[in-house]
Copies of this chain bind each other. A is one copy, B any other.
Amino acid sequence: MKTAIIAIGDELLIGQVVDTNSGSIARMIDPAGWSIEWVKVIHDDADAIMQAVDEAFAVADVVLTTRGLGPTKDDITKLTLCKYFGGELRHNPDVLENIKEIFQRRGIQLNALTEAQALVPTSCRVIQNRVGTAPIMWFERNDGKVLVSMPGVPFETLQMFQAEVFPQLLKKFHSNEHIAHRCIIVEGLTESKVAMLLDEWEDALPDFIHLAYLPKPGIIRLRLDGHHPDNNLLQSTLDKLHAQLCQRFADNLLADADLTPEEALLLRLRDKKFTLATAESCTGGNIAHRITAIAGCSDCYYGSIVSYANDVKINILGVKKESIEAQGVVSEEVVAQMAEGARKAIGTDCAIATSGIAGPSGATPNKPVGTVCIAIATPERTIASTYHFPGTRDRVIDRASTTALTLLAMALK
């Protein structure tokens, strides 16, 4: 089934908020064979909304709008949709009841503005928003096409889309085309090198399978996308091609599924019953954050020492003062001591340590911005190496984190 998404809000177009809802919705509808034709981000403006809805219905059976439903004055979506689909705004007692319940639960007083959220067009059917106050509105055209207007807070939108909106849409529409994907993650090769290696193989792919290259800093995701009415044929073809890809990139295979480096690392740690600690200087806690974002990581991840100040490196990680003075804090000697110190201080089998110059300041003649030393320690050995990552501070931090996680994951293969 074809959908189009309209994301409404000046805040999106002046770059103060990023639209992550559309991607999340895409990932939810994809396994059911539904696709997004396009996403259009527009201003809080009646004409822009009207025009986008027209354009959306021209290509899609289902139109989803997000944002533009809060209690404040900059929200005009509801009024415009009421004008588009006809009818008038009327107080909906169920919506008001829901708002009252939510406010009571949060211990907040109801006010006139919030009560106005209970106004809904008579031309829509309301889907109760169980996690927020803005009502979700389902509009249906005579030709059966549907528009669902949802609030913008990602947490609300996604919970309600998954729990209520999408199940109701699936009930209404049926699709006979199956869509499926397979993914592998390759490290240590450039995109063009990978493409060269796959040139002939890619040309021989059946016409219902497409190969996408999705480079991310430090890794390349290769994704096989397929669609076919015969799901058995689709799945077996994808399985066969996926196995071929895994074999072809065996030496550089970080993962045989769409995993992040931290997910791949956790799998291998568990596989070997190893525990992990980190000691982070230039990555400043980002490695710990990426690992602990994964639920259940505490079985093998014990913690991190973010040693931004040298005293922390010396006092808690046991780095030798002489090493810092002789080699500098950004050196393989120091970062190796950090990794070993983290293993000891936190009491784990393995450790990752980083020390570098994320920039924009801090560079020395021998160590330009982007110089990062990374050490990985396992029960058998400690290896330290030096990298030079291009780009801005956040990019250096991100790239150093990815590289460090990938290094240990590959070492544990």
Contact = CB atoms under 8 A, between A and B. Distances in A.
A22 B20 CA distance: 13
Interface string A191-203: 1110110010010
Given A202-B73, A302-B312, A196 B131 contact: no
A57 to B, nearest CB: 15
A303 to B, nearest CB: 4
Interface string A291-308: 111011110011111111
Given A23-B15, A285-B286, A225 B309 contact: no
A307 B307 CA distance: 14
A39 B40 contact: yes
Contacts of A14: 26-27, 30, 35-36, 181, 225
B13 A27 contact: no
A289 B289 contact: yes
A248 to B, nearest CB: 16
B295 A284 contact: no
Most buried by B among A196, A289, A361: A289
A287 interface: yes
B113 A196 contact: yes
A9 to B, nearest CB: 9
B303 A309 contact: yes
A369 to B, nearest CB: 10
A155 B302 contact: no
Interface stretch (A139-147, A239-247, A390-398): A390-398
B11 A15 contact: no
A170 interface: no
Contact of A74 (B212, B305, B358): B212
Interface in A49-71: 52, 55, 70-71
Nearest to A307: B303
A280 B288 CA distance: 10
A363 interface: no
Task: Say how many copies of this protein the assembly contains.
Answer: 2
Q: How large is the interface on A (under 10, 10 to 19, 20 to 34, 35 or more residues)?
A: 35 or more
A76 interface: no
Most buried by B among A11, A37, A397: A11
A10 interface: yes
Contacts of A25: 15
A359 interface: yes
B286 A289 contact: yes
A268 interface: no
A229 B10 CA distance: 21
A297 B308 CA distance: 9
Nearest to A30: B14
Contacts of A328: none
Contact of A309 (B22, B155, B298, B397): B298
B108 A190 contact: yes
Given A191-B72, A196-B111, A312-B303, A41 B38 contact: yes
A185 to B, nearest CB: 12
A412 interface: no
A301 B307 CA distance: 10
A42 interface: yes
A319 to B, nearest CB: 13
Given A41-B39, A73-B195, A303-B307, A18 B23 contact: yes
Interface string A1-35: 00000000011111111111011111100100001
15 contacts: A14-B30, A16-B23, A16-B214, A18-B19, A37-B48, A55-B55, A70-B213, A72-B192, A155-B392, A155-B395, A285-B288, A285-B289, A303-B305, A304-B305, A305-B306
